């Protein structure tokens, strides 16, 4: 009780003591001050939680620091880790695993997503409801749902194997989606496709709906065939949107971790060891902090470069 009144009294006094020009500037005209007052907290937070650690990582990437031996003497190694990562065939192999995963998922998801968008754009009855259903997987946790997919992929009892054997006639225990060297990458691609096709579909749908009707009407008047219309109107005009989806999925899958970690953990062997999994092994299992910092910086610069292109694509779409 007493406290509040004291605070209030102090507040009044402080308000009285504040010179009027300052009040006017903060409260009324000082837009510049307000702008900074509003933006600064966000920037400070990001500097503390993102940029400071980033600079620290850059520093560590030039040293032999190990997180499990914090008291050992830290030695400056220059660019040795970078040279060793960029000549290491194993890391190169991990990059290729990542590349195959990224390319396969992007191709499948773009084709499937675009086709679905074209079909949904026909506005059949109840398309709103079915669209919402299709969109569900995209919002779910890749880790929690990916974990459940390991159950669906079980050789004998799994629903996925059962469904495949139902369609193809193969015995359901004859193939192991997660244990087989040639199937494991596809298992991950299947879950990723299930999850993220809706994402591509939604953006493609926006692209299709951004095409004004009069262009099609004009094409009808010119007696352009539907096939012609698709190739010379629909596809080119939806292309910026498709690019946006492809770039974002590319970036996301380049740094894919959750699902792979839970479905295969990089195995069998190292057939699904994507870059993030290698990085996790180096950083949090072998504790080679300096080495993994250099690796992290290489991945980071790649993603940062792609993010530049992504924002460019974003602005191109925005201008429509």
Q: Alpha helix (H) ranges present in the chain?
A: 2-17, 20-23, 31-46, 52-60, 80-86, 89-120, 127-139, 142-152, 159-168, 184-209, 213-221, 226-229, 235-254, 258-263, 275-280, 289-318
What is the C-alpha end-to-end distance of the chain, expressed in Å? 58
Interacting residue with another protein among 110, 261, 264, 272 (CB under 8 A): 261
The least CB distance from residue 10 to another protein, in Å, is 21
1/227 with CB nearer another protein: 227
Interacting residue with another protein among 199, 266, 272, 273 (CB under 8 A): 199
6/315 with CB nearer another protein: 315
Q: Are 43 and 52 in contact (CB under 8 A)?
A: no
Nearest one of 299, 300, 309, 302 to 274, comparing CA atoms: 299
Q: Does 202 bind another protein (CB under 8 A)?
A: yes
Q: Does 262 bind another protein (CB under 8 A)?
A: yes
Select the span of 3-11, 12-20, 178-186, 309-317 touching another protein (CB under 8 A).
309-317
Interacting residue with another protein among 18, 50, 174, 232 (CB under 8 A): 50
Could you tell me which residues are beta bridge partners of residue 47?
Answer: none
Could you tell me which residues are beta bridge partners of residue 76?
Answer: 63
Interacting residue with another protein among 10, 210, 230, 236 (CB under 8 A): 210
Could you tell me which residues are beta bridge partners of residue 63?
Answer: 76
Which residues between 120 and 179 bind another protein (CB under 8 A)? 120, 122-128, 130-145, 147-149, 151-152, 154, 156-159, 162, 172
The least CB distance from residue 239 to another protein, in Å, is 14
The least CB distance from residue 180 to another protein, in Å, is 19
Q: Enter the tokens of residue 289.
A: 């902090």
The least CB distance from residue 63 to another protein, in Å, is 12
Which residues between 15 and 44 bind another protein (CB under 8 A)? 26-32, 34-39, 41-43
- Judge if the upstream peptide bond of residue 174 is cis by omega within 30 degrees of 0: no
The least CB distance from residue 8 to another protein, in Å, is 20
- The number of beta carbons lying within 10 Å of the beta carbon of residue 285 is 9
Which residues between 267 and 296 bind another protein (CB under 8 A)? 276, 279-280, 283-284, 289, 292-293, 296
- The number of beta carbons lying within 10 Å of the beta carbon of residue 28 is 9
Interacting residue with another protein among 10, 11, 22, 46 (CB under 8 A): 46
Helix/strand/coil for 63 = strand
Select the span of 5-13, 14-22, 174-182, 256-264 touching another protein (CB under 8 A).
256-264
Interacting residue with another protein among 49, 181, 235, 239 (CB under 8 A): 49
Q: Which residues contact 149 (CB under 8 A, 6 or more apart)?
A: 160, 187, 191, 263
Which residues between 57 and 96 bind another protein (CB under 8 A)? 57, 60, 67, 70, 82, 86-87, 89, 92, 95-96
- The number of beta carbons lying within 10 Å of the beta carbon of residue 161 is 22
Q: Does 231 bind another protein (CB under 8 A)?
A: no
The least CB distance from residue 136 to another protein, in Å, is 6
CA dihedral sign of residues 257, 259, 265, 269: negative
Nearest-angstrom CA–CA distance, 32 and 261: 47
């Amino acid at each position: 009780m007493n406290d509040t009144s004291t605070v209030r009294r102090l507040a009044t006094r402080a308000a009285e003591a504040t010179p009027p020009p300052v009040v006017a500037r903060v409260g009324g005209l000082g837009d510049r001050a307000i702008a900074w007052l509003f933006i600064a907290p966000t920037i400070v937070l990001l500097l503390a939680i993102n940029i400071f650690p980033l600079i620290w990582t850059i520093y560590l990437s030039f040293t032999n620091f190990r997180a499990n031996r914090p008291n050992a003497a830290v030695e400056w190694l220059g660019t040795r880790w970078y040279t060793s990562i960029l000549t290491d065939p194993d890391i190169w192999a991990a990059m290729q695993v990542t590349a195959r995963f990224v390319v396969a998922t992007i191709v499948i998801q773009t084709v499937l997503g675009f086709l679905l968008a074209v079909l949904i754009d026909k506005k059949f009855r109840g398309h709103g409801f079915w669209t919402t259903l299709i969109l569900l997987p995209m919002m779910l946790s890749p880790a929690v749902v990916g974990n459940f997919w390991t159950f669906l992929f079980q050789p004998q009892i799994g629903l996925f194997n059962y469904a495949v054997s139902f369609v193809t006639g193969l015995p359901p225990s004859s193939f192991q989606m997660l244990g087989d060297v040639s199937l494991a990458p596809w298992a991950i691609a299947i879950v990723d496709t299930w999850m993220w096709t809706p994402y591509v579909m939604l953006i493609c749908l926006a692209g299709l709906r951004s095409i004004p009707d009069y262009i099609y009407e004009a094409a009808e008047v010119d007696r352009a065939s539907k096939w012609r219309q698709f190739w010379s109107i629909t596809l080119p005009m939806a292309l910026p949107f498709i690019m946006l989806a492809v770039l974002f999925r590319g970036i996301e899958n380049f740094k894919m971790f959750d699902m792979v970690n839970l479905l295969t953990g990089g195995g069998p062997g190292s057939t699904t060891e994507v870059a993030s999994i290698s990085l996790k092994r180096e950083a949090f299992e072998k504790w080679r902090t300096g080495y993994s910092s250099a690796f992290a910086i290489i991945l980071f610069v790649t993603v940062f470069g792609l993010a530049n292109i992504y924002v460019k694509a974003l602005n191109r779409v925005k201008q429509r």
